[in-house]
Amino acid sequence: MEIPYIVDARKDTGLFNSKIAIWLFLASEVMLFGGFFSAYIFLRLGADYPWPERTLPVLPGLINTFVLIGSSVTVVFAWAALKMREWKKFQIFMSITIICSVLFMVLKGVEYHVKFHHQAVRLNDYSVVEGHLGYEKEGDEYVKDHNGNKIEENMIRVRTEKLTFNVVRFYAPWVEEILAETQHAGATIALAEDIKAVVEEGQGETVVAPKGTELSVELLDKIKKAHLKARKHNSILRTAALRKEWKDAKQTNPDKKSWELATDVNIDMDALSPKLLSEISNAQFVFSKPVVLLFKPRDIQEGGNQSRLRDDTVVDGELEASPMVFHNVDAIDFQHLVMKAEEKGISPESAINNSWLMKNNAFVREAWEWHQEDVAKLKKKLIDRYGYDENGNPKREPTHKELYRIGWDKFAEKGEQQHNIKLSGMELAKEKFLGPNYEARGEETFHHLSVPREEIRFAAKFSPAWNTYYAIYFTITGLHGLHVIGGALVLAYYLFFGRKMYLENPEWLANRVEVGGLFWHFVDLVWIFVFPILYLM
């Protein structure tokens, strides 16, 4: 039995099956992306921090816009070639479409790469520093860890004396890292006390692991196994005892509801205790001498003399100075600081002048001075061009971003003026895609800056963790990228494996390409909304 309307259209609708299906699918896609765009608008209007404006590089996004528009044209030409039974032209136009999709994803990948390698830090006073972190050096040589990797100047250093592991949640790679660091420091780490436990019902305590046993993943696994065995055994006993208590309570009080009996149902723990096994929730280890351990900021919650890792390992020891060192500062942003100051009735000038950056860094003070000069010139330019309103106020004024943010382009401009640093046309074009060229412009343009750990409120790459804007940016563009990849794979299938279908029934292949083309047009349409909303506004 042949399924009707696969090739030939219905007479009443003029549509074949797959065309109806793709329109229904695209309707659901409109709801999906419509929800994302609506959420973006509401979150932007209600943001409690300065929403990033014109932050993304426009040129790559603009090129990608024309790339997708061009691919939408070529996919129509490919479909028209099939309708005219011109296989060679179909191959040419469909190949161009696939190449455009690859180019789009390459440019998007470059953009993502730049974001994931750009560091930002929000200080306690809400001022923001952006740039790239450096690596630790001793003289002209990079400091390396036990694996030979360069150590980034953004690590938390703890002079550790004791570690307490959660035997259920411990993260084995971190244990191995700690062991390697300990060995590298010429020290050892071993159990602080005997771990004793009842491991069999009716027996006394036995030593599961003796004092002095050196730390290993196998040892923690052994303790974990004993703990889980005890927890399972004890839960079975408690459940059986509780079930018996409920049964006895209901027999004794048949007229009462369950909720009325709840306060009277209790397990006799004294009677149950002799049958219970010992649950070992943690294990404490001590170092033969203090060892400086390095942790990524996201992996540790800092405390006074006791910190905690994400796997609940407790680190006892003194926090050492662990500044975040920027080797290339390419932006200073006071927008959030000013917003918080105005909420408290403090003038922007006073808040900025009393910020940690202004008090502790001569480079920032100098940059702010010439930024103020640039702002004064901009104000005059806007007045000359647009004049004043009937109340004597300027019709146009600099934006919040122009007033309180110094971007990398301003640093580059000042470096060219003060130090006569000139870049070639190719290097300038490269900056449009990858951001500032730190090597070519040098330290005279993008200075070093060391931020003490105690001054840091929050730090992250330009990733979804940094703020809501980047969370939405990566969600929408990432989902759109998956649509591009999925659509390109379908169109590539028609290109490379559609010959047999074409020879059997060319109209069938033409219908499939038309459906794929409709999806591709939708992908293009979504990007036409994404580009102005995220890149231009």
pLDDT in tens, 409-418: 888 888 878 7
Instruction: Kindly report the pTM of this predicted structure.
Output: 0.81
For residue 241, give the nearest of 211, 214, 265, 216 by alpha carbon. 265
Which tops the pLDDT comparison, 3 or 307? Answer: 307
Residue 54, pLDDT score = 85
Decide which of 274, 303, 321 is a domain's last residue: 321
Instruction: Name, of 76-80, 196-200, 260-264, 388-392, the range with top average pLDDT.
Output: 76-80
Residues contacting 16, CB < 8 A, separation 6+: 5, 6, 7, 8, 9, 10, 511
Q: Per-residue pLDDT for 139 more than 70?
A: no
Decide which of 461, 478, 499 is a domain's last residue: 461
Residue 10 in any domain: the answer is no
Residue 59, token pair as written in the block: 């040129």
Residue 2 in any domain: the answer is no
Predicted confidence (pLDDT) per residue in 241-270, tens digit: 888 888 888 888 888 887 777 777 788 788
Same domain, 178 and 306: yes
Same domain, 397 and 494: no
Residue 205, pLDDT score = 87
Banded model confidence at residue 142, pLDDT cuts 50, 70, 90: low
The percentage of the chain sitting over the pLDDT mark of 70, rounded to a whole number, equals 93
Three-state secondary structure of 42-78? HHHHCCCCCCCCCCCCHHHHHHHHHHHHHHHHHHHHH
Q: Are 335 and 404 in contact (CB under 8 A)?
A: yes
Same domain, 181 and 280: yes
CATH of the domain at 64: 1.20.120.80
Question: Is residue 510 classed exposed, middle or buried when 0-12, 13-18 and 19+ CB atoms within 10 A define those classes?
Answer: buried
Mean pLDDT of 362-383: 92
Same domain, 337 and 448: yes
Q: How far apart are CA 47 and CA 432, in angstroms?
A: 29
Same domain, 440 and 508: no
Q: Per-residue pLDDT for 4 more than 80?
A: no
Same domain, 310 and 333: no
Residue 401 in any domain: the answer is yes
Banded model confidence at residue 1, pLDDT cuts 50, 70, 90: very low
| Sign of the dihedral through C-alpha 462, 465, 467, 469 | positive
Residue 129 in any domain: the answer is no
Residue 304 in any domain: the answer is yes
Residue 263, pLDDT score = 75
Which tops the pLDDT comparison, 277 or 435? Answer: 277
Q: Per-residue pLDDT for 140 more than 70?
A: no
Q: Per-residue pLDDT for 27 more than 70?
A: yes
Mean pLDDT of 5-27: 67
Same domain, 440 and 481: no
Predicted confidence (pLDDT) per residue in 466-475, tens digit: 999 999 999 9
Residue 178, pLDDT score = 94
**How wide is the angle at C-alpha 281 spanned by C-alphas 275 and 285, nearest 5°?**
130
Same domain, 330 and 395: yes
Same domain, 317 and 334: no
Mark out the alpha helices in 455-533 (DSSP H runs): 468-497, 499-504, 506-530
Q: Per-residue pLDDT for 480 more than 60?
A: yes
Banded model confidence at residue 347, pLDDT cuts 50, 70, 90: very high
Q: How many other CB atoms are found less than 10 A from the CB of residue 462?
A: 23
Q: Per-residue pLDDT for 55 more than 90?
A: no
Residue 182 in any domain: the answer is yes
Same domain, 444 and 481: no
Mean pLDDT of 327-338: 92
Residue 103 in any domain: the answer is yes
Residue 147, pLDDT score = 66
Mean pLDDT of 327-340: 92
Banded model confidence at residue 439, pLDDT cuts 50, 70, 90: confident
Supply the mean pLDDT for the chain.
88
Same domain, 372 and 224: no
Mean pLDDT of 369-378: 92
Same domain, 191 and 263: yes
For residue 518, give the nearest of 487, 480, 478 by alpha carbon. 487
Q: Per-residue pLDDT for 15 more than 60?
A: no
Residue 519 in any domain: the answer is yes
Residue 209, pLDDT score = 92
What are the C-alpha distances in Å from 192 to residues 38, 46, 84, 221, 307? Answer: 57, 53, 82, 17, 19
Mean pLDDT of 434-451: 81
Mean pLDDT of 67-89: 94
Mean pLDDT of 295-317: 90
* The total number of structural domains that make up the chain: 3
Q: Following DSSP, what letter does each residue of 219-254 receive, concatenated?
A: HHHHHHHHHHHHHHHHHHHHHHHHHHHHHHHHHH-T
Mean pLDDT of 419-435: 77
Q: How many other CB atoms are found less than 10 A from the CB of residue 79?
A: 24
Mean pLDDT of 505-528: 90
Q: How far apart are CA 407 and CA 55, in angstroms?
A: 10
Predicted confidence (pLDDT) per residue in 188-206, tens digit: 999 999 999 988 887 888 9
Mean pLDDT of 99-108: 95
Decide which of 286, 321, 356 is a domain's last residue: 321
Residue 137, pLDDT score = 65
Mean pLDDT of 488-511: 89
Look up the domain containing 226 and give its range: 156-321
Mean pLDDT of 170-189: 93
